[in-house]
Amino acid sequence: MRHRRLRRKLGVRSEHREALLRNLVRALVFKKRIVTTYAQAKEAGAFADKMVTLAKQEGLHARRLLVSKTHSDEIAKMLIRQIVPQFKDRKGGYTRVLRLGFRPGDGAQKALLEWTAVFEAPAKKTKKKKEEKKSSEKPEVKASAKEVAKAPESKKETAKVEPVEKKDSEKKGGFLKSLRKFLKGSED
């Protein structure tokens, strides 16, 4: 019997449970808020609070303990540099768990685990668009589009953009180009 055993087992073995909590705290440190089940959020919140308390000691020994418990030097650095300064005046209660509802698949209670301090949202990385091949018509279309954008701002007459048709010779190459040449009978 589990008399006076206060921690949840989460339905997994102890090694798996420790790894699960480490990964949840890692995600919490990086993303500042995570969605998981209610039981896992309660346990991960308690573990994260302990890590913040340990990081507040600010020493080599505390850093080494953080690395040994989180298995990541990166997490230890982020805890000490970014998260601990937000909680320097607080003596506990570094995380909060908010219930979100039930998961449709298995009916598990979902919860949001987040830090109680306000952090800046991490900047999202924008994907660079692939540069398209430049043709003689594209700069004209872009220039006319810029004129259209400038016209409403200056409240002058609106310029109409006429669609520009591509000629057969200006179409993209590849298989279709060679097929067109074959069907036309030209050998350029």
Residue 86 to residue 156: CA distance in whole angstroms: 52
Please tell me the predicted confidence (pLDDT) of residue 14: 92
In degrees, rounded to 5, the angle at the alpha carbon of residue 156 between the alpha carbons of residues 154 and 160 is 110
**For position 131, what pLDDT does the model report?**
58
Give the pLDDT confidence score for residue 162 in this predicted structure: 65
Count CA within 13 A, CB hemisphere, residue 57: 13
pLDDT, residue 126, reads: 72
- Residue spans of the domains in the chain: they are 14-115
Q: Report pLDDT digits (tens) over 22-39.
A: 999 999 999 999 999 999
Q: What is the pLDDT of residue 140?
A: 53
pTM, rounded to two decimals? 0.62
CATH architecture of the domain 14-115 equals Alpha-Beta Complex (3.90)
Residue in the structure block whose two tokens are 């701002």? 153
Q: What DSSP line would sit under 2-62, residue for residue?
A: -TT--S--TTS-HHHHHHHHHHHHHHHHHHSEEEEEHHHHHHHHHHHHHHHHHHTT-SHHH
pLDDT of residue 157: 53
Whose structure tokens read 């200006």?
A: 170
The DSSP bridge pattern shows strands 95-102 and 33-37 to be unpaired
C-alpha–C-alpha distance, residues 111 and 45, integer Å: 11
φ and ψ of 101, to 5 deg: 135, -160
Provide the token pair at 32.
Answer: 């500042």
> Which residues of the chain are modeled with pLDDT < 50?
134-136, 154-156
Helix (H, G, I), strand (E, B) or coil at 111: strand
Query: In whole angstroms, what is the distance from residue 10 CA to residue 21 CA?
Result: 10
Query: Whole-angstrom Cα distance, residue 95 to residue 123?
Result: 22
pLDDT at 16: 96
pLDDT of 158: 54
